[in-house]
Amino acid sequence: MLDVIELAVPDSLTTAQIAPGCGFNCYHFTVHHDGKFFSLIDAEENFPQPDSRPSGHGIPLLFPFPNRIRGDQFEWDGKTWQLPLDQVPFNKTNAIHGFCLDRPWRVIKQSGNRVSAEFQLSVDAPERREFWPADFLIRCTYTLRDASLSLDVEIENPDTVPLPWGFGTHAYFRLPLSNDSKVTDCLFQAPVDAQWKLTECLPTGETQPLTGPLKDLPEGIRMRDVSLDDAFRLTPGSDHCEIMDEAAGYQIAQSFSPEFTQMIIFTPPGRDAVCLEPYTCLTDAVNLTEIDTGWQVLAPGESQTLNVTIALEPIVA
| CATH number of the domain enclosing 56 | 2.70.98.10
Residue 224 counted as domain residue: no
Residue 28 sits at the vertex; the CA angle it makes with 103 and 253, to the nearest 5 degrees, is 110
Write out pLDDT tens, residues 112-135.
999 999 999 999 999 999 999 999
User: Could you tell me if residue 302 is inside a domain?
Assistant: yes
Candidates 124, 53, 49, 134; CA nearest to 88 is: 53
- Residues 174-193: pLDDT tens digits? 999 999 999 999 999 999 99
Residue 1 pLDDT level (bands cut at 50, 70, 90): low
User: What DSSP designation does 56 have?
Assistant: G
Please, what is the average pLDDT of the chain? 95
pLDDT in the model for residue 85: 80
Is 70 exceeded by the pLDDT of residue 298? yes
Q: Starting at the edge strand that comes first in sequence, how are the strands of the sheet with 15-19 ordered? A: 5-8, 15-19, 25-33, 36-39
Whether residue 284 is contained in a domain is answered as yes
HSE toward the beta carbon, residue 271, CA cutoff 13 A: 17
Give pLDDT, residue 93: 85
Q: Distance (Å, rounded) from C-alpha 159 to C-alpha 168? A: 22
The type of residue at 313 is E
User: What one-letter code names the amino acid at 271?
Assistant: R
Q: How many domains does the chain have?
A: 1
Q: What is the pLDDT of residue 46?
A: 87
Q: Residues 127, 130, 135, 141: is their CA dihedral positive or negative?
A: negative
Do residues 243 and 175 touch, judged by C-beta distance below 8 A? Answer: yes
Distance (Å, rounded) from C-alpha 77 to C-alpha 79? 6
HSE of 144, CA atoms in CB hemisphere, 13 A? 26
CB-based contact 239:257 (threshold 8 Å): yes
Alpha helices for the chain (secondary structure H):
121-124
Identify whether 124 is part of a domain: yes
pLDDT higher than threshold 70 for residue 87: no
**Long-range contacts: 29-36, Cβ < 8 Å, 24+?**
29/144, 29/149, 29/310, 31/146, 31/147, 31/312, 33/146, 33/147, 33/250, 33/312, 36/178
User: What Rg value do the Cα atoms of the chain yield, rounded?
Assistant: 19
| Identity at 167, one-letter amino acid code | F
Q: What's the CA gap between 275 and 263, in Å, rounded?
A: 10
Interatomic CA distance for residues 72 and 291, integer angstroms: 22
Specify the amino acid at residue 107.
V
Considering the domain boundaries, does residue 12 fall inside one? Answer: yes
More confident residue, 204 or 93: 204
Does residue 147 sit within a domain?
Answer: yes
Q: What is the pTM of this model?
A: 0.96
For residue 268, give its domain range.
5-177+263-311
- Domain assignment of residue 30, yes or no: yes
| β-strand pairing of 114-120 with 137-144 | antiparallel
In degrees and rounded to multiples of 5, residue 122 shows phi and psi of -70, -20
Burial class (CB in 10 A: 0-12, 13-18, 19+), 79: exposed
Quote the pLDDT of residue 53: 86
Cα–Cα distance for residue pair 245/9, rounded to 1 Å: 25
Q: Report if residue 294 sits inside a domain.
A: yes
